[in-house]
Amino acid sequence: MKYRLIIFFLLLSTLSYSQSLKTKETKVLSDLILTKINLLRVENNAGTLIIDSTLNLAAELQSNYMGRANRLTHRQRLKKYRTPFLRVAKFSKDFKLVGENILVTPSKKKSLKQKDLEVIAEEMFQGWKNSPEHFKNMIHPDYVLTGFSFSSSQDKKIYATNVFGTKGIRIKNQLSENAFGIKSNKSGCDEYLADKRNIITHLGNSFQIYDNEIRMYFHNKDLLKKIIKNEKDGIAIDVVTRSQFICDGANILDMSDIYDGIMLKPKYTNDIFSNNEAQNIHRLITTLGKVPSSFQGENIKPSLIYIKDGKVCDYAVPALVPSASYSLIDVPLKIKEMKNNPFYKKGIVYSKTYFFDFERDECIPVTPIKLDDTKGKLKSITINSYSSIEGDSLRNITLQNKRAAIIKSSIAKKLKQGINIPATIHSNENWDEMYFQLKLLGLDSIAKLERNLIRDFVVADTIHNWDSLLYIQRRSHATIEYEGLLNLKDSSYYEQNLYTAINAKNWNIASNAMAKMYEEDLSGLPLFTPYIFNEILIHKELVQNSSALLCNCFFFNTEKSVRFLQHWLTQAETLDAETKYNLSVLYCNVISNILDEWDLSTDVFLKIIPPNIVNEIIKSFEGDNNYNQLILNYHLTAMDYYGQINDQYGMMKSFNYIESYFNNIELNIEDDVALCLFFNRWSRFDLTIEHLFKRMYQKDFTEDAAFLLAQTCMAYPHKLSESDNIKTTQRAYSFNKKRWCSWINYDFQNLRFDDIKEIYCKECQTEE
């Protein structure tokens, strides 16, 4: 988009004239030379030129100056007329491309007749034609208009000026007349951007529009700070519309060398980073501007203007690049069944846990108790009453006991039982929850302190929301169980056996019940009840099958699933290989699910168990092909984890494993497409092109593969040659013309490319 100025001069020493040219002679000479130039342009496949009055005036301004100064030059002393472009701009600011040829002849010695003018025109034409640089101006395909002027000096030398030009377009309703003071950078930024192109590509594809606000979502704030660090570094949005890209002529792009549509006010370093709305400290979400009112309701796309030290450094056009996570492989779990442990025929037929929240120092629950109808014969009531850890321990004991008594009394009243209703009561300060919370907050060093010091820390700490955390610690609960006959035909049969076995502390039957629940794809929700959850946290005999069952239901209670993982992963050395295998499968499922959100808050991220905690287990499986799929899932999970914190080393290590894994197996085309979507997600466009281009003409190549390849090549054209990039586009077109046309129409800035535009305008008009 830069203004281009092409200027050359020539001294002719073979012509001899005796008087100044008259107006009529000037007109004849101009027409003669123009005819010759246009014939030359036709021979060289360039369009013919048309005389333009503005360019005639600019040529006259320069010829007269040279005649007065009696000196051949492209420059004038006055700054406002110093260059050919400035001289054209004196009469019109609509030109985006200007060139100028000049020459001088010896003094004239006779009046000029038609024949003389023809000779002069031919010699001027030949003089310019035989000069390589002047010849370039004469046949330049981008020129549309031209102008001539001839002037004599005092000693009768003729100074000739031929100006070439092309008018540009000015998009209306600009927000600034001078691009907000941003300057063009004629020297360019190629050297500076040599190792930063990938960042710019990411930036160009990081914009989204919500309620006419253009917002940027960038994955690595620190990486962005490497290119936007000085006071005058920044980003501006250039809003372009679909209507600017037409088939019956050139695209309607503003003649500015900075923007093509309407440029929004730039955002500089301070604005960009100080208004970060991201929850993840490594991400950047910021608003860059609003869609201009004149463009609202139109089909628009935001392009990127990258500003370095107040000058345009690069211009990036967004391109649709399909990408996706690679789904974890559904690996088989290892189920343990204990023989000679028949299920119960009589036991707990119904169990329900009720929760009670308490304000600080209060004994009455926040919400009154509401019980389900009785489900048979009451077997047992277990009450767990808690106080939070702050304050005096003796006072907390009193609070715990009072809360337990009120819970028991409320249940007895609801069940219409006497005050002597049988109940097992456990009253404690909730230190288990406290230690878990400290781990979630990343405060492991605090968790190692003595309890009185931990209390002091909680009182003094103003960073974390302890009011909310202590409220959770005070949550108490009561489990009511009813007994009766167990029926195999009952859908709750194995769940009832699980409750019964836990109550009887028969871990073998409890494990078998979980095995059956897993095999029959039954809900594992009972595992989250405090009654059962506390037991699977204690007894390692239950871990293998509970890990398997949790894989089917972890998303119902992610926090407890994480707690289960944290507890047993830190005690992995006490578990056998099959149990560690199931635990690793559960880890991948739970953590991948949490990491699925792009802008993950710090509070949530702190709940995540880092991959290094599982690394030793995974290493113990290496070398055995039976575990390859689990190891792949581990590295897919690790990639997502390290991607959240932009840990390049961690990402590269896992990525290399994943790439190597797939390089060693034969993929069908559907699997290859899924893998390439994963490559694109991590900006390895080169690998996507490498995988799919070599399969482009194979029989199993599919439509989805063709479009993925073509769209990736469009965004990353550096991997293949220009001709090969065109082939990928043509291959996609050959599969589905309608889909191809829809893609180009959606991603309409592809119409900047002549080859794409030619196909689209020829083939797609009837598809819209």
Q: How far apart are CA 586 and CA 334, in angstroms?
A: 12
Quick: pLDDT tens for 405-456. Answer: 999 988 888 887 766 678 899 999 999 999 988 988 888 899 999 999 999 9
Q: How far apart are CA 159 and CA 150, in angstroms?
A: 6
Cβ(322)–Cβ(708) under 8 Å? Answer: yes
CA distances from 756 to 240, 315, 734, 741, 764 (A): 18, 20, 14, 10, 11
Count of other CB atoms within 10 angstroms of residue 29: 22
**For the chain, what percent of residues have pLDDT higher than 70?**
96
Report angle CA 663, 668, 674 to the nearest 5 degrees.
75
The residues pairing with 56 across neighbouring beta strands, listed in sequence order, are: none
For the segment 227-235, the average pLDDT, to the nearest whole number, is 94
Question: Which of 1-5, 60-64, 415-419, 569-573 is least confident?
Answer: 1-5
Residue 717 reports pLDDT greater than 50: yes
Q: How confident is the model at residue 19 (pLDDT cuts 50, 70, 90)?
A: very low
Name the phi and psi angles at 385, rounded to 5: -110, 135
Q: Residue 519: in which H helix or E strand, if any?
A: helix 507-519
Q: How far apart are CA 2 and CA 97, in angstroms?
A: 9
Cβ(474)–Cβ(388) under 8 Å? Answer: yes
- Residue 374 is predicted with a pLDDT of 74
CA distances from 621 to 88, 122, 336, 624, 631 (A): 76, 87, 19, 6, 8
- Residue 511 is predicted with a pLDDT of 97
Residue spans of beta strands (DSSP E) within 466-599: 476-485
Q: Residue 687: in which H helix or E strand, if any?
A: helix 685-693
Nearest to 345 by CA among 486, 498, 504, 495: 486
Average per-residue pLDDT for the chain: 90
Name the phi and psi angles at 523, rounded to 5: -65, 135
Q: How far apart are CA 253 and CA 346, in angstroms?
A: 81
DSSP-derived secondary structure letter, 169 = B
- Residue 12 is predicted with a pLDDT of 53
Q: Coil, strand, or helix at residue 633?
A: helix
- Residue 99 is predicted with a pLDDT of 94
Q: How far apart are CA 732 and CA 737, in angstroms?
A: 8
Which of residues 711 and 371 earns the better pLDDT score? Answer: 711
Name the phi and psi angles at 432, rounded to 5: -60, -45
CA distances from 640 to 48, 617, 630, 647, 652 (A): 59, 19, 16, 10, 12
The residues pairing with 146 across neighbouring beta strands, listed in sequence order, are: 51, 164
- Residue 108 is predicted with a pLDDT of 61
Q: How confident is the model at residue 606 (pLDDT cuts 50, 70, 90)?
A: confident
What is the dihedral angle through the alpha carbons of 552, 554, 555, 558, rounded to the nearest 10 degrees? 180
Q: Coil, strand, or helix at residue 662?
A: helix
DSSP-derived secondary structure letter, 214 = E
The residue whose two tokens read 């907050």 is: 441
Hey, CA dihedral for 362, 364, 367, 372, is it positive or negative? positive
Cβ(102)–Cβ(62) under 8 Å? Answer: yes
For the chain, the residue count is: 768
Q: How confident is the model at residue 190 (pLDDT cuts 50, 70, 90)?
A: confident
Q: Residue 406: in which H helix or E strand, if any?
A: helix 393-415
User: Can you say whether residue 140 is alpha, beta or left, with left for phi > 0 and alpha for psi between -120 and 50 degrees?
Assistant: beta
Question: Which of 34-43, 101-110, 423-432, 622-631 is least confident?
Answer: 101-110
Question: Which of 14-23, 468-477, 728-737 is least confident?
Answer: 14-23
Nearest to 403 by CA among 443, 361, 431: 361
- Residue 109 is predicted with a pLDDT of 59
Pull the structure tokens for residue 678: 């994963």
Q: How far apart are CA 676 and CA 557, in angstroms?
A: 33
Q: How far apart are CA 288 and CA 291, in angstroms?
A: 10
- Residue 197 is predicted with a pLDDT of 78
Q: How far apart are CA 116 and CA 763, in angstroms?
A: 54
Q: How far apart are CA 504 and CA 524, in angstroms?
A: 20
Cβ(448)–Cβ(408) under 8 Å? Answer: no
Beta pairing, strands 267-268 & 346-356: unpaired
CA distances from 135 to 10, 125, 364, 673 (A): 11, 10, 96, 51
Q: Coil, strand, or helix at residue 87?
A: helix
- Residue 423 is predicted with a pLDDT of 87
For the segment 236-244, the average pLDDT, to the nearest whole number, is 95
Nearest to 414 by CA among 385, 378, 371, 379: 371
Residue 17 reports pLDDT greater than 60: no
Residue 497 reports pLDDT greater than 70: yes
Q: How far apart are CA 763 and CA 727, in angstroms?
A: 16
Beta pairing, strands 284-290 & 213-218: antiparallel
Q: Coil, strand, or helix at residue 619?
A: helix
Hey, CA dihedral for 531, 532, 533, 538, is it positive or negative? positive
For the segment 676-689, the average pLDDT, to the nearest whole number, is 94
Radius of gyration of the chain (CA): 39
Beta pairing, strands 424-429 & 377-387: parallel
Pull the structure tokens for residue 325: 């996570």
CA distances from 340 to 360, 497, 508 (A): 50, 15, 9
Cβ(336)–Cβ(511) under 8 Å? Answer: yes
Residue spans of beta strands (DSSP E) within 12-94: 50-51
- Residue 336 is predicted with a pLDDT of 95
Quick: pLDDT tens for 260-319. Answer: 999 999 999 999 999 999 999 999 999 999 998 888 888 999 999 999 999 999 999 988
Name the phi and psi angles at 571, rounded to 5: -120, 30
For the segment 349-355, the average pLDDT, to the nearest whole number, is 90
Residue 6 reports pLDDT greater than 50: no
Q: How far apart are CA 127 and CA 266, in angstroms?
A: 49
Q: Coil, strand, or helix at residue 567?
A: helix
- Residue 406 is predicted with a pLDDT of 93
629 Cβ contact partners less than 8 Å away, ≥ 6 residues apart? 329, 331
Residue 3 reports pLDDT greater than 60: no
- Residue 15 is predicted with a pLDDT of 40
Q: How confident is the model at residue 110 (pLDDT cuts 50, 70, 90)?
A: low
Pull the structure tokens for residue 92: 């019109």
Q: Residue 271: in which H helix or E strand, if any?
A: helix 269-274
Pull the structure tokens for residue 112: 């000029």
- Residue 10 is predicted with a pLDDT of 58
- Residue 323 is predicted with a pLDDT of 93
Residue 71 reports pLDDT greater than 60: yes
Q: How confident is the model at residue 151 (pLDDT cuts 50, 70, 90)?
A: confident
- DSSP characters for 426-463? EEEE-HHHHHHHHHHTT-HHHHTS-HHHHHHHHHH--S
The residues pairing with 217 across neighbouring beta strands, listed in sequence order, are: 285
DSSP-derived secondary structure letter, 557 = -
What is the dihedral angle through the alpha carbons of 23, 24, 27, 32, rounded to the nearest 10 degrees? -140
Residue 335 reports pLDDT greater than 70: yes
Beta pairing, strands 50-51 & 145-152: parallel
Residue 14 reports pLDDT greater than 50: no
- Residue 668 is predicted with a pLDDT of 95
Q: How confident is the model at residue 647 (pLDDT cuts 50, 70, 90)?
A: very high
Residue 723 reports pLDDT greater than 70: yes
